[in-house]
């Protein structure tokens, strides 16, 4: 992962005239061009990629977003939307000499409709604020990325963000009813509606998860969910993450659908303990199961869950006894990434998905791969849906170790794909995994996705040179079908 | 034959038959009065058939069992691409709760196989015994279970699609959580076969609902359900089906809930409270199947309306009043999520008038099925979406020669 220069398809600097047009679009207090201020925007949560943008605009309205995008369209200037900049794949990384459109000032909750269970928000609204707003009525906004106290709904929509509870409640896309979008030509259009099944193609479904490459969303209608009667969280200590993983499979096989099932290994427990003192039992594999629903149901299912933990050799089982204890359990889990700093000078956060049943095998293989290059990998994962977050620990000060760590992290992704999984479950492809996308999908698959891209953005000015393995031009046509390497190897099949 | 020449001279069906038969086998290609029916064995054959259709400018309608071919604007295809041979459940990873199925598999065949491991695709579409996965996905059908499990958008995790130019593309994958690349399958779902031929679909699965109870309440007018419906939707009860069915004389609300027996007992007591003074009684879960009856009446006008749930009762009351005024006979089934199917038997003018009255009251009203004589009197899709130019552009990128169901979809896409 070296520094990247992505603007070579475009001009290398914004002209004074272009800057003046941008100023006219968003007003003088909505434009940043000074170098030191621009530096705030040079990266997102993936900090080893940095590019200085040409300008940042801070629109307050959809009309201002339109005006800024029209300037970009007129001059074919690349633009990158930005929420809170917490993305972990370089999605909000600016294009050199491009424009960053920060949605931070569009942060109003426009409508709360409890009887019809939706809210309408601007893209800069912080995820956690939605739940805060509807909680007094007994509702919540379900997608809960660990970054929820800072990340924005616009960023969530772009990444189709998940969180611990998406096992039961689904992802951002599950909860997105309608979107206003400024297309890369500056047109403002509406996808979907607060009522279901708006006639036409499901463009809201397509836009969610498109990582800022199809336009800028300026208004979002989100579904809200009734808060369950009871929520209970169980912690169970096992000798290994594999044993914890087996318990997860058994819970699923018993026909239960907990709201969350998370696993942490020893390294992750150590780090989380050091950071937030969550009082986790020290063990080889810690399983966290959250059940919610009607009180009677939860009691019955909690009983079954306990029995399955015991069957798989849990050495300690605890159920959080108060809301305070439960929050502490989650605090430890949500702090796990950041806590790695306590046990390692540097680390890479990876995000891969495997079929749940491959868990024991993949964990063993990751251990073996790490040992072979003398590195440690901490594991934190959304076990219920097979979403791994291997954290590759290394020391930048040791010559060559960063490259080895990066290589290991990519090989782990390839392993996920080889086992029938995905290179990303929630952090997106962005800048970081462009090449890995080419490992997961074959050329015709990618060319087909490009048809969508070109329909929205024929000049490729919206977040260019992200997601796809190489810069493509909209004149490219998909070629004939060629078997994916995985198919020829007999690992996967087309049907 | 040079391509340019082929385009200017429309190919006679009799001339098209031998090359098509060579692709799928003579026993799988048949000449009809106005078209050729051809049943490919795999995605590669679909690609070859589409390649041939494109070269000769022949319109293609991908077809499963043909249960919903009347929906949308009429198309007169020269090639009926029938997916009946591609009907296998290819994979059921029951421990991962996912499956992969070919598009021509009937819904019931798939569900029966999945049920062996106590699982299901959590959707209850029309005509399950005949309708195929591909057709259900292309029309985005779904029944009462949607209120609990969501729509196909939430259940499909991957797809194999054959594009008009023969490209075979995969999207998504076999895992439930996956944000790699664009979700092409979301674009395909509900696209009425206008963007590509769905060859296979991967689903996430849910456990079968083993214990459930169903209750029914009757009232003179839907307005009596307003308060109980609100209380119910705002409660901790999680319906696996909730509908109001209504015609000129009757009006009833049905609720099905799946939970542990103890929990269901608790709900029963709560429901009595919510519905008082109306009485609510235990009934049979077969009542949730009445949506199907609407679609089985031949010759009716069939509408799919969508509205916000809080408007259901008032719109149903109005619907009853209008039908009385227009002298139409109607039956409607409104799901608790705001999707309403309406069947009406009426003279042309009265039907059209009813649609015009409904449209301003609803978020959308699509005339799924209209008698032939009405079709050119009204826009079936009835929608002026600001995104229509973009939808047209997507169609142009995917199918520039317009061979896939030309004209069928919104805005004559
Ligand atoms: C500690 C930590 C924990 C995290 N945990 C999780 C987790 O549990 N689950 C999870 O899914 N993610 C997680 N993330 C990743 C990140 O928080 C999410 O991807 C989040 O959705 C990004 O939101 P943001 O507002 O910071 O967006 P940014 O990082 O600013 O942008 C992300 C992408 O969205 C685009 N974008 C932003 N706004 C718009 C808009 N209005 N219109 C169009 N495109 C737009 C950008 O161009 C960019 O491509 C975590 C990150 C951190 C730092």
Q: Are A406 and A396 in contact (CB under 8 A)?
A: no
| Span from the CA of A482 to the centroid of ligand 1 (angstroms) | 34
Residue B1: inside a domain: no
Q: What is the pLDDT of residue A485?
A: 40
Q: What own/partner pairs with CB < 8 Å and gap ≥ 24 does A317-324 have?
A: A317/A234, A317/A235, A317/A236, A317/A237, A318/A234, A318/A235, A318/A236, A318/A281, A319/A232, A319/A233, A319/A234, A319/A235, A320/A232, A320/A233, A320/A234, A320/A235
DSSP code, position A227: P
Nearest CB to A422; choose among B88, B175, B237: B175
Q: Which residues contact A460 (CB under 8 A, 6 or more apart)?
A: A9, A78, A453, A471, A472, A473, A474
Say yes or no: B188 and B232 in one domain.
no
**Strand order across the B156-162 sheet:** B89-93, B98-102, B197-204, B156-162, B168-172
* Nearest alpha carbon to residue B97 among A169, A304, A357, A492: A357
Last residue of a domain, one of B184, B207, B230: B207
Pocket test for ligand 1, best of A85, A142, A151 (most atoms within 8 A of CB): A151
Reduced DSSP (H G I as helix, E B as strand, rest coil) percent helix, strand, coil of chain A, to 5 = 40, 20, 40
Partners of residue A291 on adjacent β-strands: A232
pLDDT bin (cut points 50, 70, 90) of residue A11 is low
* B181/A445 CB distance under 8 A: yes
Nearest CA to ligand 1 atom 5: A146
Q: Are A144 and A123 in contact (CB under 8 A)?
A: no
Say yes or no: B95 and B156 in one domain.
yes
CATH number at residue B62: 3.30.43.10
Looking at this predicted complex, what is its ipTM? 0.96
DSSP code, position A468: S
CB contacts of A223 in chain B (<8 Å) are none
Say yes or no: B168 and B264 in one domain.
no
Task: State how far the Cα of A190 lies from the Cα of B383, in Å rounded to an integer.
Answer: 12
Taking the model in full, what pTM does it have?
Answer: 0.95
Say yes or no: B116 and B196 in one domain.
yes
Share of chain B above pLDDT 90, in %: 90
Q: Which atom of ligand 1 is nearest to the CA of A123?
A: 41
CB contacts of A353 in chain B (<8 Å) are 175, 177-178
Say yes or no: B193 and B97 in one domain.
yes
DSSP B312-347: HHHHHHHHHHHHHHHT-EEEEEEETTSEEEEEEE--
Closest chain A C-alpha to B301 CA, distance in angstroms: 18
With a 6 A CB cut-off, is A213 part of the ligand 1 pocket? no
Closest chain A C-alpha to B33 CA, distance in angstroms: 32
CB contacts of A196 in chain B (<8 Å) are 151, 306, 337-339
Nearest CA to ligand 1 atom 53: A86
pLDDT bin (cut points 50, 70, 90) of residue B299 is confident
Residue A1 reports pLDDT greater than 50: no
Q: What is the pLDDT of residue A471?
A: 62
Average pLDDT estimate for A462-491: 60
Q: In which element (H, E) is residue B61 found?
A: strand B60-63
**Residue with more model confidence, B370 or B10:** B370
CA B233 centroid distance within chain: 25
Task: State how far the Cα of B229 lies from the Cα of B241, in Å rounded to an integer.
Answer: 13
CA-CA distances (angstroms) from residue A356 to A385, A412, A440, B97? 6, 16, 18, 9
Q: Are A25 and A99 in contact (CB under 8 A)?
A: no
Task: State how far the Cα of A41 lies from the Cα of A416, in Å rounded to an integer.
Answer: 32
Nearest CA to ligand 1 atom 42: A216
In a 3-state reduction of DSSP, which class is residue A23? helix
Q: Which residues contact B337 (CB under 8 A, 6 or more apart)?
A: A196, B146, B147, B309
Residue B179 reports pLDDT greater than 70: yes
CATH T-level fold of A109-226: 3.30.465
Tens-place pLDDT, residues A271-289: 999 999 999 999 999 999 9
With a 6 A CB cut-off, is A131 part of the ligand 1 pocket? no
CA-CA distances (angstroms) from residue B88 to A339, B201, B270? 48, 11, 45
Task: State how far the Cα of A125 lies from the Cα of A219, in Å rounded to an integer.
Answer: 10
| Span from the CA of A260 to the centroid of ligand 1 (angstroms) | 21
Residue among B179, B312, B405 with most chain A CBs within 10 A, to mutate: B179
**Closest chain B CA to residue A487:** B170
Q: In which element (H, E) is residue B93 found?
A: strand B89-93
Task: State how far the Cα of B4 lies from the Cα of B10, in Å rounded to an integer.
Answer: 11
With a 6 A CB cut-off, is A81 part of the ligand 1 pocket? yes
| Span from the CA of A211 to the centroid of ligand 1 (angstroms) | 9
Say yes or no: B37 and B95 in one domain.
no
Look up the CATH superfamily of A230-418: FAD-linked oxidases, C-terminal domain (3.40.462.10)
Tens-place pLDDT, residues B223-265: 999 999 999 999 999 999 999 999 999 999 999 999 999 999 9
Task: State how far the Cα of A365 lies from the Cα of A371, in Å rounded to an integer.
Answer: 10
Partners of residue B343 on adjacent β-strands: B302, B331
A16-102 has which CATH code?
3.30.43.10
Nearest CA to ligand 1 atom 8: A145
Q: What is the pLDDT of residue A494?
A: 33
Q: What is the pLDDT of residue B371?
A: 87
Task: State how far the Cα of A313 lies from the Cα of A285, in Å rounded to an integer.
Answer: 11
Q: In which element (H, E) is residue A330 found?
A: helix A323-334
Task: State how far the Cα of B282 lies from the Cα of B288, in Å rounded to an integer.
Answer: 13
Task: State how far the Cα of A103 lies from the Cα of A91, in Å rounded to an integer.
Answer: 14
Angle at A388 between CA A277 and CA B179, to 5 degrees: 125
In a 3-state reduction of DSSP, which class is residue A354? coil
Q: What is the pLDDT of residue A7?
A: 39
Tens-place pLDDT, residues B346-357: 778 888 999 999
Q: What is the pLDDT of residue B144?
A: 98
Average pLDDT estimate for A3-24: 73
Task: State how far the Cα of A419 lies from the Cα of B89, in Å rounded to an integer.
Answer: 20
Task: State how far the Cα of B196 lies from the Cα of B398, in Å rounded to an integer.
Answer: 8
Q: What is the pLDDT of residue B407?
A: 96
Whole-number mean pLDDT of chain A?
A: 92
Q: Are B317 and B222 in contact (CB under 8 A)?
A: yes
Say yes or no: B178 and B249 in one domain.
no
Last residue of a domain, one of B272, B289, B306: B289
Say yes or no: B217 and B197 in one domain.
no
Q: Are A90 and A436 in contact (CB under 8 A)?
A: no
Q: What is the pLDDT of residue B326?
A: 85
Residue B161 reports pLDDT greater than 70: yes
Q: What is the pLDDT of residue B374?
A: 87
* A205/B167 CB distance under 8 A: no
pLDDT bin (cut points 50, 70, 90) of residue A470 is confident
Residue B379: inside a domain: no
How many Cβ atoms from other residues are within 10 Å of residue B338's Cβ? 23
As a residue count, chain A comes to 495
Q: What is the pLDDT of residue A479?
A: 39
Tens-place pLDDT, residues A133-148: 999 999 999 999 999 9
Task: State how far the Cα of B254 lies from the Cα of B275, in Å rounded to an integer.
Answer: 12
* Nearest alpha carbon to residue A422 among A394, A454, A386: A386
Residue B118: inside a domain: yes
Tens-place pLDDT, residues A98-129: 999 999 999 999 999 999 999 999 999 999 99
Closest chain A C-alpha to B92 CA, distance in angstroms: 12
Say yes or no: B284 and B296 in one domain.
no
* Nearest alpha carbon to residue A429 among A403, A390, A389, A465: A465
Q: What is the pLDDT of residue A295?
A: 94
CATH number at residue B345: 3.30.70.60
Kindly give the residue spans of alpha helices, DSSP state H, lying in B36-160: 43-56, 107-115, 133-139, 146-149, 152-155
Pocket test for ligand 1, best of A62, A64, A82, A102 (most atoms within 8 A of CB): A82
Residue B141: inside a domain: yes
With a 6 A CB cut-off, is A146 part of the ligand 1 pocket? yes
Average pLDDT estimate for A228-247: 95
Share of chain B above pLDDT 70, in %: 98
Nearest CB to A420; choose among B154, B174, B207: B174
* Nearest alpha carbon to residue A56 among A89, A86, A25, A87: A25
CA-CA distances (angstroms) from residue A116 to A85, A196, B306, B312? 32, 11, 13, 11
Q: Which atom of ligand 1 is nearest to the CA of A214?
A: 43
Q: What is the pLDDT of residue B1?
A: 40
Nearest CB to A200; choose among B208, B383, B398: B383
Say yes or no: B281 and B337 in one domain.
no
Tens-place pLDDT, residues A36-75: 999 999 999 998 899 999 999 999 999 999 999 999 999 9
Say yes or no: B301 and B349 in one domain.
yes
Last residue of a domain, one of B207, B229, B259: B207
Residue B97: inside a domain: yes
Partners of residue B168 on adjacent β-strands: B162
Q: What total of structural domains would you count in chain B? A: 4
In a 3-state reduction of DSSP, which class is residue B274? helix
Q: Are B380 and B366 in contact (CB under 8 A)?
A: yes
Say yes or no: B216 and B176 in one domain.
no
Domain that holds residue B364: 292-374
* Side-chain-side CA neighbours of residue A260 (13 Å): 26
CA A312 centroid distance within chain: 32
Burial of B250 per CB tally in 10 Å (0-12, 13-18, 19+) = exposed
Residue among A199, A214, A361, A362 with most chain B CBs within 10 A, to mutate: A199
Average pLDDT estimate for A161-185: 96
Q: What is the pLDDT of residue A472?
A: 61
Q: Are A198 and B385 in contact (CB under 8 A)?
A: yes
Partners of residue A387 on adjacent β-strands: A353, A382
* Nearest alpha carbon to residue A115 among A132, A145, A138: A138
Residue B5 reports pLDDT greater than 50: no
CATH number at residue B155: 3.30.465.10
What does the domain layout of chain A look like in residue ranges?
Answer: 16-102, 109-226, 230-418, 434-488
Average pLDDT estimate for A316-344: 92
Phi, psi (degrees; rounded to nearest 5) at A379: -120, 125
Residue among B133, B167, B177 with most chain A CBs within 10 A, to mutate: B177
């Amino acid at each position: 992962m070296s520094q990247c220069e992505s603007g070579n398809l475009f001009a290398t600097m914004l002209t004074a005239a272009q800057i003046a047009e941008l100023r006219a679009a968003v007003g003088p207090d909505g434009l940043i061009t000074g170098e030191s201020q621009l530096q705030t925007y040079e990266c997102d949560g993936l900090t080893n990629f940095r590019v200085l943008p040409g300008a940042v605009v801070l629109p307050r309205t959809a009309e201002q977003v339109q005006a800024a995008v029209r300037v970009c369209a007129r001059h074919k200037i690349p633009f990158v939307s930005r929420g809170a900049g917490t993305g972990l794949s370089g999605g909000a990384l600016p294009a050199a000499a491009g424009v960053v459109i920060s949605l931070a000032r569009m942060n109003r909750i426009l409508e709360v409709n409890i009887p019809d269970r939706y809210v309408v928000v601007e893209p800069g609204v912080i995820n956690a604020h939605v739940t805060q707003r509807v909680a007094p009525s007994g509702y919540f906004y379900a997608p809960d990325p660990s970054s929820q106290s800072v990340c924005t709904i616009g960023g969530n929509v772009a990444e189709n963000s998940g969180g611990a509870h998406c096992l039961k409640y689904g992802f951002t896309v599950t909860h997105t009813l309608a979107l206003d979008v400024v297309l890369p030509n500056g047109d403002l259009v509406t996808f979907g509606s607060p009522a279901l099944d708006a006639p036409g193609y499901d463009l809201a479904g397509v836009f969610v998860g498109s990582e800022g490459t199809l336009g800028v969303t300026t208004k979002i209608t989100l579904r809200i969910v009734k808060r369950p009667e009871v929520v209970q969280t169980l912690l169970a200590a096992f000798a290994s993450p594999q044993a914890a993983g087996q318990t997860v499979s058994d819970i699923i096989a018993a026909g239960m659908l907990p709201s969350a099932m998370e696993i942490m290994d020893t390294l992750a427990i150590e780090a989380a303990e050091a950071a937030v003192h969550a009082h986790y039992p020290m063990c080889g594999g810690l399983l966290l199961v959250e059940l919610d629903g009607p009180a009677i149901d939860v009691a019955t299912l909690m009983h079954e869950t306990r029995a399955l933990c015991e069957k798989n050799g849990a050495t300690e089982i605890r159920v959080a006894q108060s809301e305070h204890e439960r929050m502490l359990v989650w605090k430890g889990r949500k702090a796990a990434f950041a806590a790695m700093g306590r046990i390692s000078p540097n680390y890479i956060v990876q995000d891969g998905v495997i079929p749940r049943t491959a868990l024991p095998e993949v964990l063993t293989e990751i251990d073996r791969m790490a040992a072979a290059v003398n590195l440690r990998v901490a594991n934190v994962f959304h076990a219920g849906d097979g979403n791994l977050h291997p954290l590759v620990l290394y020391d930048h000060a040791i010559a060559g170790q960063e490259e080895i760590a990066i290589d290991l992290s990519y090989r782990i992704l390839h392993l996920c794909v080889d086992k029938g999984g995905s290179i990303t479950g929630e952090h997106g492809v962005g800048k970081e995994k462009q090449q890995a996308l080419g490992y997961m999908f074959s050329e015709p698959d990618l060319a087909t996705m490009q048809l969508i891209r070109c329909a929205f953005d024929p000049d490729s000015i919206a977040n260019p040179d992200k997601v796809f393995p190489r810069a493509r031009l909209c004149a490219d046509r998909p070629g004939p079908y060629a078997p994916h390497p995985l198919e020829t190897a007999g690992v996967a099949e087309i049907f | 034959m040079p391509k340019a020449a082929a385009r200017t001279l429309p190919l006679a069906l009799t001339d098209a038959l031998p090359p098509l038969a060579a692709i799928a086998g003579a026993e799988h290609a048949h000449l009809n009065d106005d078209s050729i029916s051809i049943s490919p064995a795999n995605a590669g054959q679909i690609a070859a058939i589409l390649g041939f259709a494109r070269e000769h400018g022949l319109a293609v309608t991908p077809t499963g069992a043909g249960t919903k071919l009347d929906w949308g604007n009429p198309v007169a295809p020269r090639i009926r691409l029938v997916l009946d041979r591609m009907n296998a459940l290819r994979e059921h990873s029951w421990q991962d709760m996912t499956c992969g199925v070919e598009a021509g598999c009937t819904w019931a065949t798939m569900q029966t196989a999945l049920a062996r491991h106590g699982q299901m695709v959590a959707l209850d579409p029309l005509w399950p015994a005949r309708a195929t996965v591909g057709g259900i996905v292309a029309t985005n059908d779904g029944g009462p279970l949607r209120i609990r499990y969501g729509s196909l958008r939430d259940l499909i995790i991957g797809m194999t699609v054959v594009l008009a130019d023969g490209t075979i593309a995969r999207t998504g994958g076999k895992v439930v959580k996956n944000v790699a690349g664009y979700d092409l399958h979301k674009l395909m779902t509900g696209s009425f076969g206008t963007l590509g031929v769905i060859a296979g679909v991967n689903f996430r699965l849910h456990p079968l609902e083993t214990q459930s109870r169903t209750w029914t309440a009757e009232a003179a007018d839907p307005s009596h359900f307003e308060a109980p419906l609100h209380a119910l939707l705002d409660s901790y009860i999680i319906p696996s089906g909730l509908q109001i069915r209504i015609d000129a004389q009757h009006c009833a609300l049905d609720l099905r809930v799946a939970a542990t027996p103890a929990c269901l007992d608790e709900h029963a007591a709560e429901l009595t409270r919510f519905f008082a003074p109306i009485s609510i009684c235990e009934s049979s879960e077969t009542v949730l199947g009445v949506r199907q009856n609407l679609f089985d009446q031949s010759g009716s006008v069939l509408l799919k309306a969508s509205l916000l749930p809080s408007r259901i009762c008032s719109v149903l009351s109005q619907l009853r009043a209008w039908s009385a005024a227009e002298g139409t006979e109607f039956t409607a089934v409104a799901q608790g999520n705001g999707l309403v199917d309406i069947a009406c038997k009426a003279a042309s003018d009265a039907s059209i008038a009813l649609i015009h009255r409904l449209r301003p009251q609803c978020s959308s009203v699509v005339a799924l099925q209209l008698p032939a004589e009405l079709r050119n009197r009204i826009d079936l899709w009835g929608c002026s979406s600001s995104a229509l130019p973009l939808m047209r552009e997507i169609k142009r990128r995917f199918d520039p020669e317009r061979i896939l169901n030309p004209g069928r979809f919104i805005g004559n896409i």
